[in-house]
Structure 1
Amino acid sequence: MCSAETPAETRAAALAALLTAATGVPSRLAATGAGIRVEADLPTELPPVTFAAILDALSAGARYGHQRTDVGDTVWVEIDDEFDDEPVTEPEPVTVTGDGTGTGEGTGTGDAHHDETDQEE
């Protein structure tokens, strides 16, 4: 008999799906001491709409970051086992202008922390 998904597992699955849709590459999930970590490899080219979708997904976690290695870039987001059970929402539409910049507001929630190093808190 399978146990029901926890709210953290549900949120992690939703964020993994959003990152997979944005990057075109399957996301990876891993258990951490305090919750679940979702990782996604970044494509070499990031159009503004893709960039906005990735940032929106990352902002829905407790912590997020970016790792750069010799083989490419990876973003990650962590979801704590205990968090407010606010649903993950689809990102707001982003309007891309002729100069390649975008406008729009993300809908992510959470106490996000951006870390551009390989170190975790």
Structure 2
Amino acid sequence: MKRIIKIICIICIALYSPFTIAQTTGTASYYSNTFEGENTASGEKYNKNHLTAAHPTLPFDTLVIVTNLVNGESVVVRVNDRGPYTKSRIIDVSEAAAKKLDLLNQGLAEVKLEVLDDYFIKSIPHKNSN
């Protein structure tokens, strides 16, 4: 229970914190359901219900705040894959993240990406920690 509370607190701080190290804007898309259960570039299985994303260069496990520039909705995702492979796009998000961003109907959205400071990345429990 303490772990869940810690994660929620860190995500809340991250969403409203100035502690970001890089930001950019561009077009986001989301994964097709056909990738469910397939291996990502990090070796994890893609799960449409997890808040994950594909980015061409950010290190795996980097946390990124993705904000839909049209409606202001934001979500924190963890990079666990490479892509997108369409040059006009800057990130592919999971279906769960796409729902939070309200981009399921359009399939694409103009977004702002903010990479969280290393302090926050190290504070989130890793998938293999207890």
In the superposition, the TM-score normalised over structure 1's length comes to 0.26
Higher strand share: 2
Q: Please identify the structure whose Cα radius of gyration is greater.
A: 1
In the superposition, the TM-score normalised over structure 2's length comes to 0.25
